[in-house]
Chain A
Amino acid sequence: MRSFEDYCWRHLLSEEMATIYAAYHRERRVEPRSAVLIVHPADSFTPTIGDWVPAAEHIVAEARTLGLPVLHSILPGELATRRLAPRPSDHVISRHADSAFFFCDLEAALTRLNVDGLIVAGGPTSGALRATAIEAKSYGYHAAIAEEATADEAALLHKMAMFDLAHKYADVMAVDELIALLRHAIAMKVA
């Protein structure tokens, strides 16, 4: 796996900053009993950094193959991102605030699905994605994020959000790494 700091924020990282945040370094993982949560941005969202949809499609395809639940958090009055349209077997939850958990039945749905990990994708990175991933951790879920499956309207805000998430709240990695860890975790569980 790439080293802990070798992701999109790498050029923001001064030596002092790296030293101060080294205490957050840890081995990253993906829980075998994960669900995928797609945080669909508004239709008006025009990212300047990150092309999140292909990586999210990749993750969703893998989840379906592995039989993992797929949930969609969609803003009221908005449609799902076209290439990630929910299937009938998916769960669709309306999002009323930046966190996908805020006053809706997401947590109840996850409890019923017996999920203990959440793979979060979507955007904006520094808005709904960040708020959702932090609240996922608050609720006791192990959050994993593929850096390619996020996008934002400003590179600085995107990178800083990914940095903060990676250190404090979620396991951030490349999409290939995420898929590999997920398959590995499931194989270990079955073995």
Chain B
Amino acid sequence: MNVATGLWDHLLDDETRALLAQRPSRPTIGRRPALVAVDLYDLVYDGGPRPVLELMEKYPASCGEYAWQALPGTVALYEAARAHDIPVVHVTYDTRPETNPKPMHPTNRRRRQPDLNLYRLKAELANRPGELVIYKKRASAFFGTPICAFLNEMKIDSLIMVGESTSGCVRSSVVEAASYGFPVTVVADCVFDRYPLNHQVSLLDMHLKYATVVDLASTLAALRSRPALAKAG
């Protein structure tokens, strides 16, 4: 699998090169991976494929052009996963009002209450019947959610992670997944953020400490070359 070095090469200096040199080798995609997609809802695509700077006034949560750039590749990844019996686990925000009567937010961003319908999964990335959706209220997909129980029941041995934001909920989820002992592969082309520097440094950090950050092309090649697995149960 190809590590997405192109995304952080220009940032490397002596210190970060030294850390990369010390990075231990880690397992990536195992026999029974799951694709975990974090927070890919309409809200972060709102306003269309425009610069974040242009959108931020009217669409403060949008990742604009970065979200839309990642979309075709993410669709292709979902297709490859489904074609090879790899479960797709969707993670999104729990918008039930009774679960947040006095608003407490996952981050400190000053916010206007968005139309809660915008937390609907992006249509092209919607869950299909039989696919698991995890509803969360904090940054990590694991915090306060039953995701681990379901991953265990599905006998998942590794995670392929996509979604947003790279430096926020994706990173928190990756850290906790690694803490649980899951080998994690992060598909760099299928994660995005609101600003490139945060995105690139978080990818480098995740690759150094918690996961293997790879490109979409080699992930698709890896999935397509897998033999079909017998279904569990």
Residues of A within 8 A of B (CB): 12, 14, 16-17, 19-21, 23-26, 48, 96-99, 102, 126-127, 131, 134-135, 137-138, 140, 153-157, 160-161, 163-164, 167-169
Which one of B27-35, B80-88, B138-146 is at the A interface? B138-146
Flag the segment in B9-17, B92-100, B119-127, B224-232 that touches A: B9-17
Among residues of B, the one whose C-beta sits closest to the C-beta of A158 is B15
Residues of A within 8 A of B52 (CB): 20
Smallest CB–CB gap between A1 and chain B, Å?
Answer: 16
Chain B residues at the A interface, C-beta cutoff of 8 Å: 11, 13, 15-16, 18-19, 52-53, 56, 60, 104, 106-111, 138-140, 143-144, 167-168, 172, 175-176, 178-179, 194-195, 197-198, 201-202, 204-205, 208-210
Residues on the A chain within 8 Å of B209, using CB: 98, 126-127
| Selected contact of A24 from candidates B109, B139, B144, CB within 8 Å | B109
Contact residues in A for B111 (Cβ distance below 8 Å): 23
Nearest 3 A/B pairs, CB to CB? A97-B179, A154-B15, A168-B107
Given contacts A138-B143, A153-B19, A157-B16, contact A16 B195 (CB under 8 A): yes
> Does A134 lie within 8 Å of B53, measured CB to CB?
no
Which residues on the A side are within 8 Å of B138 (C-beta)? 137-138
Contact in complex: B109, A98 (CB < 8 Å): no
Assuming the A-B contacts A98-B209, A134-B139, are A156 and B13 also in contact, with contact meaning beta carbons closer than 8 angstroms in the complex? yes
Picked from A17, A26, A96, A99, the residue with its CB within 8 Å of the CB of B108 is: A26
Contacts of B60 in A (CB 8 A): 23
Residue numbers in A under 8 Å from B11 (CB-CB): 156
Residues B106 and A17 in contact, CB atoms below 8 Å apart? no
**Minimum CB–CB distance for B198 against chain A, Å:** 7
Interfacial chain A residues near B178, Cβ < 8 Å: 97-98
Q: Assuming the A-B contacts A17-B195, A17-B197, A154-B16, are A99 and B107 also in contact, with contact meaning beta carbons closer than 8 angstroms in the complex? A: no
Q: Are B110 and A25 in contact (CB under 8 A)?
A: yes
Report the minimum CB–CB distance from B151 to chain A (whole Å).
16
Name B138's closest neighbour in chain A (CB-CB).
A138
Given contacts A99-B176, A134-B139, contact A154 B108 (CB under 8 A): no
What's the Cα separation between A143 and B113 when bound, in Å?
24
Contact in complex: A168, B108 (CB < 8 Å): yes
B26 to chain A, nearest CB (A): 15
The smallest beta-carbon distance between B89 and chain A, in angstroms, is: 20
Q: How far is the CB of B57 from chain A (nearest CB, A)?
A: 10
Contact B110 A23 (CB under 8 A): yes
Q: Knowing A126-B205, A138-B143, A157-B16 are in contact, say whether A98-B179 is a contact too (CB < 8 A).
A: yes
